[in-house]
Chain A
Amino acid sequence: MTQLKEPNRKNETTKLMTLIQAINDGMRLILAEDNRTIILGEDIGKNGGVFRATEGLQEQFGDDRVVDTPLSEAGIIGTSIGLAVNGFRPVAEIQFLGFIYPAYEQIMTHVSRIRMRSMSRFTVPMVIRAPYGAGIRAPEIHSDSTEILFTHMPGIKVVCPSTPYDAKGLLIAAMEDPDPVLVLEPMKNYRSKREEVPVGKYTVEIGKGKIVREGSDVTLIAWGAMISIAEKAAEQAEKQGISCEIIDLRTLYPIDRDIIAESVQKTTRAVIIHEAHHTGGLGNDIVSIINDTSFLYLRAPIERVTGFDVPVPFFTLEEHYLPTPARVVEGIEKVLHF
């Protein structure tokens, strides 16, 4: 089984942090260390971001490094490209993933393609951060989970941490990556729990998943806000004597194929959970990976528990859109009693 080498945190100074504090801490460290870093976005300066991700950063580093931009996502991403090809390391905040679409052309056509089109003469080492997901009773259109628009896009990496530790480590890895990285931050997890996070610098490798629960009967594959749903489902299943293994994918592109293959070959069953729409969801790529690597090990067809093929509903109905532990348990039962 793939065992990730987790850094030994005992000897390090750590601090209790929420996911949003860990993001803030990661940016603060790199701003201090690398003067090429520049943070851009709407309301990120004095206001510290609508979720407070950039709290205190403008005060500490100045308004030419932590920049409140005009209200224009295409402008933020387009100018970040120019900054990045000319020696800076932009970190662009998009206020909500549901508002990234005006910048879609810049990302699809340029962020992801300049390296190829210039044969690496120009590169775009930038980070785009965006809160995503439903379940916090936000007003309409603030709850999209459209990661596959970006995993489908060659030339950009996509990560999605579910814990404070991974959030800081993946963000720093993204900021140091030679290529553009989209960091999707589950809003639901921003303040849902605290954990000990090293105060110093560390990275979590992009492209590596993590086993967050070991089990033998079925592999649950999830990321972001769906990890806690998978965990609750695993606890309920355990009462029926079913042992679930959970993979937190952490990186959505490039996907850790090895961790999926090893786990599924061991458990022989898989349930994939994502809050994005069913059709064209990342679950399909994971099914393909299992098909390519582990088909003959399977004892049941793979189940997908996902959002439906509908726009994310208004908040009074969002619980009926999002996967629930009960739906995941049904998926688990289905693969076990096939």
Chain B
Amino acid sequence: MEHNYPIKRIVDDKGFLVDMSFQKQIDEQLVRNLYYHMLRIRTFDRKAINLQRQGRLGTYAPFEGQEAAQVGSALALNAEDWVFPTYRDHGATITFGKNMATTFLYWNGRVEGCVAPADKNIFPPAVPIATQLPHAVGAAWAEKRRGTQNAAIAYFGDGATSEGDFHEGLNFASVFKVPVVFFNQNNGYAISVPIEKQMNSATIAQKSVAYGMPGYRIDGNDCFAVYFETKKAFDYARSGNGPTLIEAVTWRKGAHTTADDPSKYRSEEQGKNFVDPLIRLELFMKNYGYWNDEWIQAAQEKTTSEVEAAVVEMEKFPPPNVADVFDHVYAEMPAQLVEQKQAYLAHLGRL
């Protein structure tokens, strides 16, 4: 079936502007901000994979290849907005303000890793697929009821569009005209299942039609397209127009998680037509005179030392507290749980 959702790009694979209308809005500050954050989260991601291989981190979900989608969207938010990520969106949440060491802790089996800074509305990552979409709608609805200018973003994958919660979230958002942006990263695969087997529709963007909301299909490896389209969707939401669905077409370069072996289901050749988002931005910077070796080197040193410091912080973190197994389940612990906790702590004391 034909569709009306061509992929929108601002910069092409060789780093040349294809949409001149953005020429004025792209300045050195934006370019450097995008590059710096993409480099920063890539450094984090590669470090995490290494730590996992060395047995210093648990199973980890890498996002290499999706940096433009995650950074471009996260930088388009206001500080008071709400973020509802999945397990693969820690690139976006770190960019938005989640602590790196905390993020490492999450992947090391520590519940502390779910906790965002008090001034950032970042939900714990959604592990059951698509469950976060209705949450984002509810949080955005609350902002609307309170009459604020804040909005919410829900991150989700291509596979998530098959779950009921995806459809229920979009429907509620459009019925109640809620200020939420549904930000899909179509990375081609849901674990081993390619998008052609996931859905019979040619695009994810076109699913917006059924819910009467605008839908955009963008090049998810073009950080400018991601940044400006996300900003546009947020402006639309903040002006009281309701939700938008964005499909950012990208590619998961690595495994689904460190426990996954992609050679079981896809060839090395696949994905070769996707130009790495950092390389693309580098080409753009060189084409338009933004590339500065000294600045790049300083950025590399700064991000590397930040990631190394976060590893040290994660590894120095106090050992898990057994009481935490019991202490955060209720505001006031029911008597029978108090009894279980005391009996268990007493048992540990006897060992």
Contacts and interface: CB of A to CB of B under 8 A. Distances in A.
A310 B337 contact: yes
Interface in A298-334: 308-311, 313-318, 320-321, 326-327, 330
A45 interface: yes
A138 B59 contact: yes
Given A72-B163, A75-B162, A102-B163, A308 B326 contact: yes
A71 B129 contact: yes
Contacts of A318: 109
Interface stretch (A9-17, A46-54, A176-184, A249-257): A46-54
Interface string A91-107: 00000001101100000
A218 B177 CA distance: 63
Nearest to A49: B192
Contacts of B117: none
B192 A68 contact: yes
Contact of A46 (B58, B198, B265, B326): B265
A140 interface: yes
Contacts of B216: none
A101 B128 contact: yes
Given A101-B128, A139-B87, A48 B163 contact: no
A320 B127 contact: no
Interface stretch (B15-23, B68-76, B317-325): B317-325
Contacts of B164: 72, 74, 102
B324 A313 contact: yes
B contact residues, range: 35 or more
Nearest to B129: A71
B190 A71 contact: yes
B329 interface: yes
A2 B190 CA distance: 48
B267 to A, nearest CB: 12
Interface in B298-351: 320, 322, 324-326, 329, 334, 336-337, 340-341, 344, 347, 350-351
Interface residues on A, range: 35 or more
B192 A70 contact: no
A192 interface: no
Contact of A316 (B110, B257, B264): B110
A50 to B, nearest CB: 7
A231 B164 CA distance: 43
B127 A140 contact: yes
Contact of B337 (A45, A75, A309, A327): A309
Contacts of A152: none
Given A47-B192, A278-B340, A316-B108, 7 more contacts: A71-B162, A71-B163, A308-B337, A309-B334, A309-B337, A317-B111, A317-B325
Interface of B: 58-59, 87, 107-111, 113, 127-129, 159-160, 162-165, 190-193, 197-199, 257, 259-260, 264-265, 320, 322, 324-326, 329, 334, 336-337, 340-341, 344, 347, 350-351
30 contacts: A42-B190, A42-B193, A46-B264, A50-B191, A70-B198, A71-B129, A71-B190, A71-B193, A74-B163, A74-B164, A75-B162, A102-B164, A137-B58, A278-B336, A279-B336, A308-B344, A309-B329, A309-B336, A309-B337, A314-B109, A315-B58, A315-B109, A316-B108, A317-B111, A317-B320, A317-B322, A320-B322, A320-B344, A326-B351, A330-B347
